[in-house]
A and B are shown apart, each in its own frame.
Chain A
Amino acid sequence: MSGATDGLPSTPGAQQGSAPLVVFDPRLGPATAAEDPLSPDARQRVRERAAEVIARYPRPRSALMPLLYLVQAEQGYVSADGIRLVAEILGLTTAEVAAVVTFYTMYRRRPCGAYVVGVCTNTLCAILGGDAIFQALQDHLGIGNGETTEDGMVTLEHIECNAACDYAPVVMVNWEFFDNQTVESARELVDRLRAGDPPMPTRGAPLKTHTEVSRILAGFPDDLADVGPSAGPASLAGLELARRRGESAPPRPGASS
């Protein structure tokens, strides 16, 4: 299912196989959103939760971003109909909502796979192996940046720095960390995702599908916060060295100021 052949209007960003300039990002998809209508049930669910989202903020418009995640949780992406619904809820024009959707890369504008595999190719990860991993996964899966495997299981993309540089090279799957990857481990990772046997993230909870993740990002978490470690080994490198060397901050004089 290539982005360039799914019947949607072509844009410079949807062209595949050209020089890898990042100026137009294929992840963003076509400039116009797909038209798929939300089901009546989905509309109802979004509306019911919208009141709770709006109540988090002093002003309703601040709820726009979480509402877009709620729509994405229903369809896997933000459709033109999803934009209309959010505009209705907040009393905005569809242009105002579309302007926001198109600014942020985490709002998808066309369907994606159950698992979005993001290989960090910002400088540090790229040099430590991210470029090799990203190339190997494209070859292994037979798809390019922003494309989805034919079974609909994996969408592959390169991502920017994800704040885990001490675990480079890093691969994210549905925004969970897979630390210290190699070409082999990354190939095995996508094979298992496609086989319906997703491995555990290095520091996180069992993988959720992309739509389930969008619901959490709307501020409706599941109950998995207690799964996984406090920190990975690199996060603890300094602390453990301090313990071995017997070093610490000076003792605090007490609880008073």
Chain B
Amino acid sequence: MNGDGGSPHPAARELLGQFRRGEIGRRDFLRAASWLGVSGASAAAAAGLSACAPVHAPVSQDTVRFVCAVQQMTDPALTTWIEASNLFRNCLEFLVEVDADNICRPFLAQSWRPSEDLKTWDFELRPGVRWSNGDAFTTEDVAFNINRWIAPKSKSVNRTAFAALTGIEVTGPLTFRLHLNRPVCSLPEQLYAFTCPMLHRDFERMGADWPKTPVGTGPFTLTDFQVGRQASFRRREGYWGPPPTLRQIDYIDLGTDISTHVAALAAGQVDILYRVSVAELDLVRRLPQARLIRQQAAQTVVMRMQHDQKPFDDLRVRRAVQLAADNAQMLRLAYRGYGVVGENHHVAPFQPDYAALPAFKRDVTQARHLLAEAGHANGIELKLTLGNTQGRFEQDTAQVLQQNLAEAGIRLKLNVLPASEFWSVWDKTPFGLTYWSHRPLGVMALDLAYRSTSSWNESHFNDPQFDAGLDVAMGLIDPVVRSKAMAGLEQILQDQAVMVQPYWAEKFTAVSPRVRNYRAHPSDYFRMDKVWLADA
């Protein structure tokens, strides 16, 4: 069961046993196997599963027109917008891939194997990969990128994301080892973050301006790049993998108004939209020229309370807010039911490290009782700050919460800021609504948002027991054991009433009915190399 012919990780055998006994599902099995460096095909074969059937896509002369912001970019490792990454993802590739099913798969690295303590990870690169300038892709390129990310002067968010990474050791032309100062089971997933594309080792010598020198290992080459207007990519001859199905992709910047994008799709001017929001769903459904695509994702809004700010320094107040909130109603009204109800702990039921807790029940009477105990027998006035950074549904959610809390005597004022203004206060406001994008694993979000030392700890949550539990969970591969550790973490977050986390929101997009094999991705990390257009 080892993809590279070496001995399997000691946990691999136990994993297979758990799958055969029905203790874990297919997805959990494939995911955990991939952590252990076992290829998807080997894992599927060992478990008696049929591996994903390869898509027999025709190589065509088609051009797909994709609505996407074409933003200024120079250094992909410093990119702050996922839209920009969707452009360079056609040319630049990653060591691993987290696919649309949220499963981590080999990419430029064909295998990896962690040590038992998850502090040392051995990677092996795929042989035969060449850059578009003809150079071979080697560990020299990997070392260049990783050393750049973790350099003390690095301005990339990767420096924080890979804080546990102490260094890279090149062990051969195609093999390298990563050293960590603590176990991080999500290391492979982190390598598919949009800021982690592999750049050519001479990137800085070439001017550190990627659109000007668009060297990559990917299936397309950049042929046109006009900020705010259009970018074009052409099929690259001599690509190391299967040839891409499309001849060309044109990214067209139509501004930020999604209604305009839908109108362009309806008029046949474009083929794929970047996204549509819940507000456009009914319109898209009525258009014969549009096909709606839905995608489950661990994206959510979190209404978190800062533990060191009055009145939220009183657990009874936080708990009253949580008990009075009707998460199901927020999902039904503000997001029209397209998602899964949240459980106020920021781990999604469809994330592989989720552990089910007893159902969280709304209890307005208890909320009133707690408020009275806390000295607010006549109710309390609170202010929630939000910025509609992802759309109007944030404000709609807050308005439903406002109605919910009123039943318990909590008078909630909404402080709606322009999105740009909100980002300057998002982690400062005592009670704020923040959008959190999809993360493949629950621990990744918990580590970013609730660890006491994290710079994104917007709730100022500070619990040594939680931090220690997080370290344990991040060092576990066994899904059953990890599930128990995660249950403890989820319970702490729920009991400490850190947040109201009402729902997990689905993602939506729309494409022309001609588009084939296009999949939405929970992180909006789209791959275009196997997409094609059917005949009109």
State yes or no: do A and B come from one complex.
Answer: no
Measured CB to CB, the residues of A under 8 A from B are none
